[in-house]
Chain A
Amino acid sequence: MEDSIPKMRVENLDVSYFDKQALFSINLDITKNNITALIGPSGCGKSTFLRCLNRMNDVIDGCVVKGKVELDGSTIYDQRIDPVTLRAKVGIVFQKPNPFPKSIYDNVAYGPRIHGLANTNSELDDIVEKSLIRAGLWDEVKDRISDSGTSLSGGQQQRLCIARAIAVNPQVLLMDEPCSALDPIATARIEELMDELRNRYTIVIVTHSMQQAARVAQYTAFFHMGYLVEKGATEKMFTTPDDKRTQDYITGRFG
């Protein structure tokens, strides 16, 4: 991560749910305009970590976050920081597609409307169209833009959720296993999409697929039982990992 500027920086992050600690003093820099993959066995705390980056954990009962998380050099766990405005800058796409039961158009227009990003209807149309184009969904839905978002297929729904997230023009995009419900074709499209999006956004993706991490991510972080075991350039991690546990996981010996 030497040559890139850190967009986000995490220092000594501890997270616990009620009395149970889920993450132990995590340190990680997330570099700008790159894709960082978080890998590790189930339950190791990847989602928990991801949700710390835009304070989605605030809304979870019993979740306590300690430590420092910075966005562009300023801390985000601060009384003065409104998590609502933070989330507009750090968007998130969830594992399961969760389109609102509204039209495709309204799904994408939801964020821009809330944040007042468009002054006129034609501006809003513009944002919606651009977001759908960037999410690679426009051609499939341009004739049925007022159909319900829930009427789309799973893969289309996930791309709709991505379009929805980029419509608010975030700086960082968090993706929690965005392809786990998708077939290989839809997965390939979303991977392509991430590669395109990387020019504009900084992306953090949780994935269970080693191949996916290897394909899309420049940097990879390996979590194990709440600890960040190893981090670094993806290529290095997948060819010559430093830690035995990383090696075991990557070669499929556990997890």
Chain B
Amino acid sequence: MTLIIFLILFAAVFGYYIAQSKAATISLTQGKKLNSLPIYHGLYVLTLTVLPLLLIILFWMLCKGYFLDKILFSILENEFVNLNFDQINLLAAKLKNMYVSQLVSQETDPNLIRVYQEYLLYEENISIYFNILVFFLSILIIFFLLKKIKLDFPARKKIERLLTIVFFLASIVAVLTTVGIISSLFFETVRFFDKINPLDFLFGLEWSPQTAIRSDQVAAQGAFGIIPLLVGTLLTTLIAMFVAVPFGLMSAIYLSEYAHPRTRAIIKPALEILAGIPTVVYGFFAAITVAPFIRDLGDLLGLEVASESALAAGLVMGIMIIPFVSSMSDDVITAVPRSLREGSWGLGATRSETILQVVLPAALAGIVGSVLLAVSRAIGETMIVVMAAGLAANLTFNPLEAVSTVTVQIVTLLVGDQEFDSAKTLAAFALGMTLFFFTLILNVIALAFVKRYREVYE
């Protein structure tokens, strides 16, 4: 595959130079000005060669597997006429395994080995044919394009159009990825709901998927009630926001309204370093330092504190989020026009009166937006909670007990070695879908706030 891409690029660059010189020659021999500079003719050939062929290659890479499967099936069907569909399926899977692991064991059926080699041959030949085809196609395209070069060929305008397409394709990639992820979440979730009643999932008060490890166990189904996880998520997020919002907002106010530029130049980057610390580091800070501290403190006060608590996780998560709140709020507050502040000072208001009564209300929508974005970060945070809040999905509002969150459960569900279509694994997708749903709503609301804020001042 790399070879053919290299060849196409080579041909395209070659076409670029030829087109350029051809355009220049035409203009010279006819003694007239070209519609577009020679370089545009070159670029035109280059992009129109590379772009479609790369798309063809991409498409081929995507559906090659499908074609090969078809071929494999037909070979197998010819070879083992007496087998039924399911058995052929099994053999195909076996062969593909051999192909992936490149291991042919001694006791394999010699017939199968023969088929395997035949298959390999096909695979190789198909690739070769495809490469040759693509290469000739590129030469063909280049010839065709070179023919089109004329004095009044509007290459410059065409390039403009092509670039629009390129930019569009680039933006589509992100969108398609999102659509792909969501649809895979969606379909796995539907499969999960085949096994588990959606009502039990959404309103169940107990979460214990671990009971469903083996299918011969009595409680084979396990309990998949999401409520304890939602409550756990809500609890840790709330605690985090209780830390992050006041500290973040106040430091934003300090930075934007009071701090001397020199102080600001030190504090702002320092705050932003907080955002750069990997969450794992926060996680063990929470588990090793904060959680025991809270437990000892609780002991002193005569309170029952679990060694892993929602409080510990929430506090550290809050610290992690401070820079998000402060840096976004800082931007929002700084964007409030200076003329508003001067208007307030000019009326004899003090700095703090101005901030509380003019600047903050003016920035409110933006601040709410940034807080909501921080909330959706807190909801999605996993590492800290895994390490500091425990795995026990207790249904409790007590911050001193261990809780578990949606993200943590997704991790624990997927790190085990279950079959891929057990209810337990599929539950992870349902959880992911729920999580996605909530953060999506939050983000939409947050962006609506931010947008309203922008409308006022831009």
Report the stretch among A94-102, A138-146, A209-217, A224-232 that lies at the interface.
A94-102
B456: min CB distance to chain A, Å: 6
Q: A85 near B348 (CB under 8 angstroms)?
A: yes
Q: Does B339 belong to the interface (CB within 8 Å)?
A: yes
Q: A165 near B348 (CB under 8 angstroms)?
A: no
With known contacts A56-B342, A94-B342, A88–B348 Cβ distance under 8 A: yes
Q: B347 near A91 (CB under 8 angstroms)?
A: yes
By a CB distance below 8 angstroms, the chain A residues around B349 are 84, 110-111, 114
When C-beta atoms are compared, the residue in chain B nearest to A115 turns out to be B348
CA gap between A161 and B341 in the complex, in Å: 13
Contact digits for A20-58, partner B, Cβ 8 Å, 1 yes 0 no: 000000000000000000000000000000000010100
Q: B343 near A150 (CB under 8 angstroms)?
A: no
CA gap between A93 and B346 in the complex, in Å: 8
Q: Does A87 belong to the interface (CB within 8 Å)?
A: yes
CA gap between A96 and B339 in the complex, in Å: 8
Q: Does A59 belong to the interface (CB within 8 Å)?
A: yes
Contact digits for A73-109, partner B, Cβ 8 Å, 1 yes 0 no: 0000000000011111101111010111110000000
Report the stretch among B34-42, B120-128, B244-252, B354-362 that lies at the interface.
B354-362
When C-beta atoms are compared, the residue in chain B nearest to A100 turns out to be B358
Q: Does B350 belong to the interface (CB within 8 Å)?
A: yes
A149: min CB distance to chain B, Å: 11
A59, A61, A168: the one within 8 Å of B347 (CB): A168
CA gap between A111 and B344 in the complex, in Å: 8
Q: A87 near B346 (CB under 8 angstroms)?
A: yes
How many A residues, CB 8 Å from partner? 29
Q: Is the interface of A mostly helix, strand, loop or mixed?
A: helix
Q: B343 near A94 (CB under 8 angstroms)?
A: yes
By a CB distance below 8 angstroms, the chain A residues around B353 are 114
Q: Does B269 belong to the interface (CB within 8 Å)?
A: no
CA gap between A158 and B377 in the complex, in Å: 43
By a CB distance below 8 angstroms, the chain B residues around A164 are 343, 347
Q: Does B337 belong to the interface (CB within 8 Å)?
A: yes
Contact digits for A153-185, partner B, Cβ 8 Å, 1 yes 0 no: 000000001001100100000000000000000
A residues near B (Cβ < 8 Å) are 54, 56, 59, 61, 84-89, 91-94, 96, 98-102, 110-111, 114-115, 150, 161, 164-165, 168
With known contacts A100-B340, A101-B362, A168–B345 Cβ distance under 8 A: no
With known contacts A56-B342, A110-B357, A98–B337 Cβ distance under 8 A: yes
A-B contact pairs, 9 of them (CB 8 A): A59-B341, A61-B261, A98-B337, A98-B340, A100-B343, A100-B362, A101-B340, A164-B347, A168-B348
CA gap between A100 and B342 in the complex, in Å: 11
CA gap between A92 and B353 in the complex, in Å: 18
Q: For this complex, into which size category does the number of interface residues on chain B fall?
A: 20 to 34
Q: A59 near B345 (CB under 8 angstroms)?
A: yes
Q: A110 near B347 (CB under 8 angstroms)?
A: yes
A56, A61, A96, A115: the one within 8 Å of B346 (CB): A56
B residues near A (Cβ < 8 Å) are 261, 337, 339-350, 353, 357-358, 361-362, 456
Q: B361 near A102 (CB under 8 angstroms)?
A: yes
CA gap between A92 and B349 in the complex, in Å: 12
Apart from A100-B344, A114-B353, A168-B347, list 9 A-B contacts with CB within 8 A: A84-B345, A84-B350, A89-B348, A92-B346, A100-B358, A100-B361, A101-B361, A110-B349, A168-B348
Q: B456 near A101 (CB under 8 angstroms)?
A: yes
CA gap between A98 and B346 in the complex, in Å: 11
CA gap between A84 and B353 in the complex, in Å: 11
By a CB distance below 8 angstroms, the chain B residues around A92 are 346
When C-beta atoms are compared, the residue in chain A nearest to B339 turns out to be A98
CA gap between A231 and B261 in the complex, in Å: 40
CA gap between A99 and B339 in the complex, in Å: 9
Q: B456 near A150 (CB under 8 angstroms)?
A: yes
Interface hub of B339, B343, B357 (most chain A Cβ within 10 A): B343
Interface hub of A59, A88, A100, A164 (most chain B Cβ within 10 A): A100
CA gap between A56 and B350 in the complex, in Å: 12
By a CB distance below 8 angstroms, the chain B residues around A100 are 340, 343-344, 358, 361-362
CA gap between A98 and B350 in the complex, in Å: 18
By a CB distance below 8 angstroms, the chain A residues around B358 are 100, 110
CA gap between A100 and B360 in the complex, in Å: 11
By a CB distance below 8 angstroms, the chain A residues around B346 are 54, 56, 87, 91-94, 165
CA gap between A61 and B261 in the complex, in Å: 10
Rank and list the top 8 A-B pairs by shortest CB-CB distance, nearest first: A88-B348, A98-B339, A92-B346, A87-B348, A111-B347, A98-B343, A101-B362, A114-B349
By a CB distance below 8 angstroms, the chain A residues around B341 are 59
When C-beta atoms are compared, the residue in chain B nearest to A86 turns out to be B348
When C-beta atoms are compared, the residue in chain A nearest to B357 turns out to be A110
Q: A84 near B348 (CB under 8 angstroms)?
A: yes
When C-beta atoms are compared, the residue in chain B nearest to A58 turns out to be B345
CA gap between A94 and B261 in the complex, in Å: 26
